[in-house]
Amino acid sequence: MRVIAGPEKKTRVMGEKEKLVTAYHEMGHAIVGHDLEFADPVHKISVIGRGQALGYTISMPAEDKFLTSRAELLDQMAMTLGGRAAEEIVFNEITTGASNDLEKVTSTAKQMVMRFGMSDKLGPRVFGHDQSQPFLGREFSAQADYSDEIAREIDDEIRRIVESAHQRARDILTARKAELEQISQILVERETIEREEFEALMQGRPPGEIFPIDPEPAPEPPSSPEAPAAERSTGQSPMPRPGFAGGTAEMRGSDSRGPETV
| DSSP notation for 63-98 | S--S---HHHHHHHHHHHTHHHHHHHHHHS---GGG
- 3-state secondary structure (DSSP) of residue 141: coil
45 lies in a domain? yes
230 lies in a domain? no
Phi, psi of 87 (to 5 degrees): -60, -40
Q: Which residue has the higher pLDDT, 60 or 232?
A: 60
190 lies in a domain? yes
The pLDDT tens digits for 181-210 are 999 999 999 999 999 999 999 999 999 899
What percentage of the chain exceeds 70 in pLDDT? 70
219 lies in a domain? no
11 lies in a domain? yes
At residue 237, does pLDDT exceed 60? no
252 lies in a domain? no
Phi, psi of 238 (to 5 degrees): -70, 150
Q: What's the structural domain count of the chain?
A: 1
Q: Which residues make Cβ contacts (< 8 Å) with residue 155, sequence separation at least 6?
A: none
Mean pLDDT of 86-105: 95
202 lies in a domain? yes
Range of the structural domain that residue 120 is part of: 2-210
**Residues 222, 66: contact at Cβ < 8 Å?**
no
225 lies in a domain? no
* Per annotation, catalytic residue among 8, 26, 196, 220: 26
Q: What's the CA angle centered on 8, arms 4 and 13, to 5 degrees?
A: 140
Q: Which of 14-18, 20-24, 52-56, 234-238 has the lowest mean pLDDT?
A: 234-238
Residue 37 appears among annotated catalytic residues: no
CATH code of the domain covering residue 31: 1.20.58.760
**Residues 162, 109: contact at Cβ < 8 Å?**
yes
Mean pLDDT of 2-23: 71
